[in-house]
Structure 1
């Protein structure tokens, strides 16, 4: 999901999700990412649509029971658990938010996956993992919170030669120039046309780039609708003003309903 603290530091992002995470779980789902609907006539629930998007990425990872996968920006662990159950791969999820790591661990335990799915607090731009320690990396709508170039170089470092990266990223609404920068703006958003160079500059070979905005564009209207439906309950339970969270997370210089979304698949050069 989008935030004003994109690319402004891990502490700000972590603090944001202390409030924003519980709100998302209430108005959206424990998948902290966009949903994937087939078209305007698709009336799938939020849970179905977000799980569908996870499955779209799982299919592109191409991993199995002998593989180790890093989930960069794991949220509360729903995609990581789904990935492990679908493929048999071992998954390590990282987040800068301790509450998310705790909840993700509880999810893995509840599913009987603690030996195969683990979570730890770590900065995706400096993970501390050994070189070439993962067969694949999933970055599900998380790079928007980071220095994208630095995060991608770190991902390349921890991937084995030939290892695959599958990510989603948010893109600038068509016809709107990206903000020149500054705190409080979604200045880290890039465009679909720029993405091949973003990938190449990080030392990856781009295998696939697809604009999925036509499938994800139904996300923001549903979030807005559910926000109004649940705001009183959220404020009563959590003692946090929803408008304050909204103002802290949504950039004022663009219509978030028009934000695009892409999938990129790339690999670290080297023998498979």
Structure 2
């Protein structure tokens, strides 16, 4: 299975509408930006939220960020990771999301957190980046590229807006092994509910990175540190949030999303990768 454009991929507008609805479902807990977690070892007892911060920090280290650096955060949600990047590294972060509601709420969150001097959240489409060439020192795509119908186009756009020697760090799903028939429905349900495109093999990425005009720095399988414990904790986190903050109708919709994650706890064949690449030059 390749990483080319998928006939069954959701359109960007549909993904935006899904996240518009997600904002409406969960209006009080947006700052947490529920992301996948990263646990360094089986003994790491961090919560899902803390492990999600750790994954953000890992990408920041890979991007070699610091004061004076300008970062594009593709698929930034309501800006939680972007704010964390700016606070921990001193870098300027421009976040874009395909969701109008996320961009509205995200910019309000930035201002509430007193980070407007370093962070901007705006509406934008990674398939059609409008920034001039060489606008950014780094690009982060944390749990974003799987929503986009054509990874080749996204990576080519990233290469264009990066300055020479600029880096990109992204996460993506991939197929560690063929998913057996009795598990495939659970995987399909999850990808459908969360508006994601289906995955290919990790070996497809080096060629796509090269064709985009980037140089591969590292490509890591971080499944053992991320997947299973995220799917174990995500339904409980969703349930806690929905019971505290939502009416019965919205709570039921959120519970359905949590249940979709539960079905993937034992699907070890579904993997999670971390890719780092750079634009050649000095």
TM-score by length of 1: 0.84
Residue 55 of structure 1 is matched in structure 2 by: 57
Deviations 1:93-136 (A, max 9, x none): 00011111122212221232212211110101112111111111
Gapped runs of 5+ residues in structure 2?
A: 1-6
CA distance in 1, matches of 2:40, 2:131: 38
SS in 2 for 1:69: strand
Tell me: CA distance 1:243–1:6, structure 2 relative to 1, closer, same or farther (3 Å). Answer: farther
Residue 262 of structure 1 and its aligned partner are, at CA, apart by 0.9
Looking at structure 2, the residues matched to 115 and 196 of structure 1 have their Cα atoms a distance apart, in angstroms, of 36
- 1:165 paired to 2:168: yes
Q: The residue matched to 2:203 in structure 1 has which SS? A: coil
State the Cα deviation string for residues 2-44 of structure 1 (Å, max 9, x = none). Answer: xxx9832111101111233465787997234210112333221
2-structure distance, mates of 1:223, 1:26: 17
2:145 to 143, 146, 164: 143
Shift of 1:200: 1.7
214-223 or 21-30, larger mean C-alpha shift: 21-30
Alpha-carbon contact 2:35-2:49 (below 8 Å) kept: no
In the alignment, structure 1 residue 174 sits paired with structure 2 residue 177: yes
Query: Given the alignment, which residue of 14, 18, 38 partners 1:12?
Result: 14
Of the three residues 265, 268, 271, the one matched with 1:260 is: 271
Residue 125 of structure 1 pairs with residue 127 of structure 2 = yes
CA RMSD of aligned residues (A): 3.2
Aligned residues, how many? 262
Q: Which moved more, 1:257-266 or 1:208-217?
A: 257-266
Mapped pair 1:96 → 2:104? no
Contact kept, 8 Å, 1:60 with 1:265, in 2: the verdict is: yes
**Deviation, structure 1 residue 74:** 0.4
Q: Which residue of 2 aligns with 1:134?
A: 136
Q: Displacement of 1:257 after TM fit? A: 5.2
Name the stretch that deviates more: 190-199 or 254-263: 254-263
Q: Determine which of 171, 196, 208 is the counterpart of 1:198.
A: 208
Matches within 5 A, 1:28-107: 30-107=32-109
Is the contact made by 2:59 and 2:169 (CA closer than 8 Å) also made in structure 1? yes
Query: Is 1:208 equivalent to 2:215 in the alignment?
Result: no
More helix by share: 2
2:3 maps to what in 1?
Answer: none
Q: Bigger shift: 168-177 or 126-135? A: 168-177
Q: Deviations over 1:65-109 (max 9, x none)?
A: 221110000011011111111111111000011111122212221
